[in-house]
Chains A and B, each alone.
Chain A
Amino acid sequence: MNNSVTNTARLLGAALRALLVLTLVTGVIYPLVVTGVAQALFHNKANGSEIKADGKVVGSSLIGQSYNLPLKKGQETPDADLKWFQGRPANGLGSNSLNTQYKLILSGATNLSADSKVLIKQVEDAKAAVVKDNSVSGYTVKPSDVPADAVTSSGSGLDPDISPAYADLQVHRIAAQNGLSVTQVQKLVDEHTEGRTLGFMGEPRVNVLELNIALKALVAKK
Chain B
Amino acid sequence: MGPVLAGVLQLLALIGALALAYIPLGNYMAKVYSSDKHWRIEKWVYKGIGANPDAEMTWPAYLRGVLAFSTVGVLFLYLLQRLQGILPGSLGFDSVNPAQSFNTAVSFVTNTNWQSYYGEQTMGHVVQTAGLAVQNFVSAAVGIAVAVALVRGFARSRTGELGNFWSDLVRGTIRILVPGAFIAAIVLVACGAIQNFSGIHEVGQFMGGHQQWNGGAVASQEAIKEFGTNGGGIFNANSAHPFENPGPFTNLFEIFLLLVIPFSLTRTFGVIVGSVKQGYAILATMFTIWLGFVALMMATEFAHHGAALQAAGGAMEGKETRFGVGSSSIFAVSTTLTSTGAVDSFHSSFTGLGGGIAILGMQLGEIAPGGTGSGLYGMLIMAVIAVFIAGLMVGRTPEYLGKKIGTREIKLAACYILITPALVLIFTAASMALPTPPHSMLNSGAHGFSEVLYAFSSAANNNGSAFAGLNANTDWFNTMTGLAMLLGRFLPMVFVLALAGSLAEQKPVPETAGTLRTEKPLFTGLLVGAILIITGLTYFPALALGPLAEGLAS
Could you tell me which A residues sit within 8 Å of B by CB distance?
Answer: 8, 11-23, 25-28, 30-31, 33-35, 37-39, 41-42, 45-50, 53, 56-60, 62-63, 65-68, 81, 84, 88, 92, 94, 96-99, 101-116, 119-120, 122-124, 127, 144, 146-149, 151-163, 196-203, 205, 209, 212-213
Contacts and interface: CB of A to CB of B under 8 A. Distances in A.
B68 to A, nearest CB: 4
Interface in B154-210: 166, 169-170, 173-174, 177-178, 181-182, 185-186, 189-198, 200, 203-207
B513 interface: no
A78 B251 CA distance: 33
B243 A62 contact: yes
B507 interface: no
Interface residues of B, number: 125
B467 interface: yes
B121 A158 contact: no
B172 to A, nearest CB: 11
Contact of B307 (A47, A92, A120): A120
B123 to A, nearest CB: 11
A114 B320 contact: no
A15 B317 contact: no
B198 to A, nearest CB: 7
Contact of A212 (B206, B313, B322, B343): B206
Contacts of B443: 111-113, 116
Which 5 pairs show the lowest CB-CB distances between chains A and B?
Answer: A202-B248, A114-B306, A148-B314, A155-B240, A203-B324
A130 B165 CA distance: 60
A112 B445 CA distance: 12
A127 B207 contact: no
Contact of B185 (A34, A68, A158): A34
B319 interface: yes
Contacts of A16: 72, 76
Interface stretch (B23-31, B48-56, B514-522): B48-56
Contact of B121 (A81, A99, A113): A99
B82 to A, nearest CB: 15
A119 B349 contact: yes
Contacts of A59: 203-206, 211
10 contacts: A14-B166, A34-B195, A38-B186, A41-B186, A53-B206, A109-B468, A119-B317, A127-B311, A158-B242, A202-B327
A17 B50 contact: yes
A85 to B, nearest CB: 11
Contacts of B351: 114
Contacts of B240: 107, 109, 154-156
Contacts of A196: 1, 6, 248
**Which of A84, A198, A202 lies at the interface centre, i.e. has the most chain B CB atoms within 10 A of its CB?**
A202
